[in-house]
C-alpha cells in the first residue's frame, strides 16, 4: 500500500511538471511563430513568394533574438519548471540559429533583388532599414564570436558578460527598429504591436535580472565567517546571514554568489549549497579551484560581504517519503552533502546510499565527515567510495562510476528511491545510461552536470 502511495505521488508530480513544460513550450512557440502565422492570414502587401519566404525568416530571426533576452533571466515561474542550467543551455544553443535565420533573411533578399546586394557589405549609403538590419546582424555575430573565443581573446568573465548584455541590447534594438521601418507587413497593426510587445518582454527580462533581482538581494546580505580548506583541492566558504533569517532552500539547489562587489556587479558565480537545509542562517558553498574566482577563494578574508541570488534549481524529490540514491563524482559531492547534512540534522532515518567517485583517497572531499555520518547508529546512510586511481593498499571499489561498476553497487530498492546524479557531463551521461538499462524510472532521477 505504501509503495502504491509513493508511486501515485510521483505520478502526480510528473503530471504537474509535464503540464507546466507543455504550457511554457507552447507559449515560447506562440511567441516565436506568431508573426509568421499573422503573415499567413493577413492582407497581402505585395512581393512574390520568395519575398514572403525571406520575411518569414526575418520575423523568426527577430522573435528568437528578443526571446534570447528572456531565457537566462531567472524568471521564477520558468526557472522552477525547467531549471536554470537547462535554460542556459537552450540559450547557448539557439544563438547560432538566430544568426542563421537573420543571414538567410538578408541573403535571400539580396539574391532576389539586385538593388539590395550592396547592403550586405556597406548599408550606410542607403535608407535606415538597411543599416539597422546590418547592425543587428553584426552585433549578434560579435556576441557569438566573443562567446566562442572568450578564452582565446583573454576576455575576463565579468568583462565578457557586460559585453554580452550590451551587444544583445544593441542588436535587438536595431532589429526592432529595422522591423518597424519596413514598409510592408510591419505597417499592419497586429504584427507591429506583437513585435513591440515581444521586445518589451525581452527588455523587461533584462531589467528584472540586472536591476530588480539585485536590488532585492540587498535586503538579505551574508558575511563570510570561515574559509575552510578541503581535500581534493576544494575550499568551503561558510556564511552567516546578516540581520535576517536566511533564505530557505532545499538540498540540490544552487545560488549565484556576488562576493564583495556590490549588488549590481556582473562578477557572480554559481555554486551548489553544500550545507544543511535545516540551517538557512549558515549556508556554505564548496568549490574546487578551476577558474579565476575559485583559485582565489581560499584568500577571501572572513568578514567579506556576500550576496546570494538564489536558490535556483528544479529538483524536487519525486517521492517525498522515499529514500535517496546519490551518485556523484569529484566536486559533484556538494549537493549530495547538502542532502546528507539535512538528513542528519533532522534525524531522518530514510535510507541513503552515496556512490562517490574520486581519483585517489586523498581526493575524497569531506572524507572524514562521510565516515562519521556512515557510522551513526541513528541514521541509515551507506557510503561507497569508488577510486579510479586507487593506491595499491586500497581495499574498496576500483574503477569509475559507469555501467560496469554501478549495477553491483546499487541497493535492492534503487527503483523506489529519489536519485541525484551529479558530476562532469560524460560521467552523468554514463550513469544515466546505466540507470536506464537497469530500469530505474526516469521520473525519479535528477541530473546536474558541472
For 365, what's the count of Cα atoms within 13 Å in the CB-facing half-sphere? Answer: 25
CATH topology for the 324-449 domain: Rossmann fold (3.40.50)
Instruction: List Cβ neighbours of 436 (8 Å cut-off, separation of 6 or more).
Output: 442
Q: Alpha-carbon distance 330 to 424, whole Å? A: 8
Across 416-426, b (16+ Cβ under 10 Å) vs e yields: bbbbbbbbeee
Domain boundaries, the chain: 25-216, 222-312, 324-449
- The secondary structure of residue 217, as a DSSP letter, is H
Coil vs helix vs strand at 83: coil
Instruction: List Cβ neighbours of 316 (8 Å cut-off, separation of 6 or more).
Output: 13, 250
Q: Please choose, from the candidates 70, 47, 87, 65, the residue with its C-alpha nearest in 3D space to the C-alpha of residue 195.
A: 65
Q: Alpha-carbon distance 340 to 335, whole Å? A: 9
**Residue in the block written with cell 546586394:** 117
CATH topology for the 222-312 domain: Elongation Factor Tu (Ef-tu); domain 3 (2.40.30)
Coil vs helix vs strand at 134: helix
Whether cis (ω within 30° of 0) applies to the bond prior to 311 is: yes
65 close to 135: Cβ distance less than 8 angstroms: no
Q: Alpha-carbon distance 335 to 385, whole Å? A: 16
> What are the pLDDT digits (tens) for 135-176?
999 999 999 999 999 989 999 888 999 999 999 999 999 999
For 53, what's the count of Cα atoms within 13 Å in the CB-facing half-sphere? Answer: 9
**Phi, psi for residue 423 in degrees, rounded to 5:** 170, -160
Q: Alpha-carbon distance 301 to 238, whole Å? A: 11
Coil vs helix vs strand at 423: strand
**Phi, psi for residue 96 in degrees, rounded to 5:** -60, -35
Question: What CATH architecture applies to the domain 25-216?
Answer: Up-down Bundle (1.20)
Q: Alpha-carbon distance 103 to 57, whole Å? A: 9
Q: Alpha-carbon distance 67 to 197, whole Å? A: 11
Instruction: List Cβ neighbours of 377 (8 Å cut-off, separation of 6 or more).
Output: none
- The secondary structure of residue 301, as a DSSP letter, is P
Measured from the Cβ of residue 213, the count of other Cβ atoms closer than 10 Å reads: 17
Question: Residue 1 has what pLDDT?
Answer: 44
Q: Which three cell numbers stand for residue 28?
A: 515560447
> What are the pLDDT digits (tens) for 371-385?
999 999 999 999 999
Q: Alpha-carbon distance 355 to 384, whole Å? A: 5
- Tens place of pLDDT for every residue, the chain, 450 residues? 444 444 555 566 667 777 888 999 999 999 999 888 887 777 666 667 888 888 889 999 999 999 999 999 999 889 888 888 889 999 999 999 999 999 999 888 888 777 666 666 666 666 777 788 889 999 999 999 999 999 899 998 889 999 999 999 999 999 999 988 875 666 778 888 899 999 999 999 999 999 999 988 888 899 999 999 999 889 999 999 998 999 999 999 999 999 877 888 888 889 999 999 999 999 999 998 776 677 778 889 999 999 999 898 867 787 888 899 999 999 999 999 999 999 999 999 999 999 999 999 999 999 999 999 999 999 999 999 999 988 888 888 898 888 888 888 998 888 889 999 999 888 888 889 888 888 888 888 888 887
176 close to 199: Cβ distance less than 8 angstroms: yes
**Phi, psi for residue 328 in degrees, rounded to 5:** -140, 165
Amino acid at each position: 500500500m505504501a509503495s502504491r502511495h509513493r508511486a501515485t505521488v510521483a505520478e502526480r508530480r510528473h503530471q504537474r511538471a509535464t503540464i507546466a513544460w507543455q504550457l511554457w513550450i507552447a507559449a515560447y512557440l506562440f511567441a516565436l511563430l506568431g508573426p509568421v502565422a499573422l503573415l499567413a492570414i493577413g492582407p497581402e502587401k505585395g512581393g512574390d513568394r520568395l519575398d514572403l519566404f525571406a520575411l518569414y525568416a526575418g520575423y523568426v530571426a527577430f522573435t528568437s533574438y528578443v526571446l534570447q533576452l528572456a531565457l537566462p533571466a531567472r524568471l521564477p515561474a520558468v526557472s522552477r519548471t525547467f531549471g536554470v542550467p537547462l535554460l542556459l543551455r537552450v540559450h547557448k544553443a539557439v544563438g547560432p540559429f538566430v544568426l542563421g535565420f537573420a543571414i538567410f533573411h538578408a541573403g535571400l533578399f539580396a539574391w532576389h533583388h539586385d538593388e539590395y546586394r550592396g547592403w550586405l557589405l556597406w548599408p550606410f549609403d542607403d535608407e535606415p532599414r538597411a543599416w539597422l538590419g546590418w547592425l543587428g546582424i553584426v552585433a549578434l555575430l560579435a556576441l557569438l564570436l566573443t562567446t566562442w573565443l572568450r578564452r582565446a581573446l583573454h576576455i575576463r568573465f565579468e568583462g565578457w558578460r557586460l559585453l554580452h548584455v550590451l551587444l544583445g541590447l544593441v542588436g535587438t534594438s536595431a532589429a526592432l527598429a529595422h522591423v518597424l521601418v519596413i514598409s510592408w507587413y510591419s505597417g499592419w497593426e497586429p504584427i507591429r504591436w506583437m513585435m513591440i510587445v515581444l521586445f518589451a518582454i525581452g527588455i523587461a527580462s533584462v531589467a528584472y535580472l540586472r536591476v530588480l533581482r539585485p536590488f532585492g538581494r540587498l535586503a538579505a546580505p551574508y558575511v563570510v565567517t570561515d574559509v575552510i580548506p578541503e581535500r581534493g583541492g576544494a575550499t568551503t566558504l561558510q556564511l552567516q546571514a546578516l540581520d535576517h533569517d536566511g533564505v530557505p532552500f532545499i538540498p540540490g539547489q544552487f545560488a549565484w554568489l556576488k562576493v564583495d562587489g556590490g549588488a549590481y556587479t556582473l562578477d557572480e558565480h554559481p555554486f551548489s549549497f553544500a550545507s544543511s537545509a535545516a540551517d538557512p542562517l549558515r549556508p556554505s558553498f564548496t568549490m574546487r579551484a578551476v577558474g579565476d574566482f575559485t583559485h582565489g577563494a581560499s584568500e577571501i578574508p572572513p568578514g567579506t560581504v556576500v550576496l546570494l541570488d538564489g536558490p535556483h534549481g528544479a529538483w524536487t524529490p519525486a517521492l517525498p517519503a522515499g529514500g535517496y540514491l546519490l551518485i556523484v563524482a569529484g566536486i559533484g559531492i556538494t549537493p549530495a552533502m547538502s542532502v546528507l547534512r539535512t538528513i542528519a540534522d533532522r534525524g531522518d532515518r530514510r535510507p541513503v546510499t552515496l556512490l562517490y567517485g574520486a581519483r585517489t583517497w586523498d581526493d575524497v572531499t569531506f572524507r572524514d565527515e562521510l565516515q562519521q555520518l556512515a557510522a551513526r547508529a541513528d541514521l541509515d546512510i551507506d557510503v561507497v567510495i569508488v577510486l579510479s586511481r586507487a593506491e595499491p593498499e586500497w581495499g574498496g571499489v576500483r574503477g569509475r562510476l559507469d555501467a560496469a561498476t554501478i549495477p553491483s553497487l546499487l541497493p535492492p530498492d534503487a527503483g523506489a528511491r529519489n536519485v541525484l546524479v551529479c558530476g562532469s557531463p560524460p560521467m552523468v551521461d554514463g550513469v544515466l545510461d546505466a540507470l536506464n538499462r537497469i530500469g530505474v524510472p526516469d521520473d525519479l532521477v535528477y541530473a546536474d552536470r558541472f
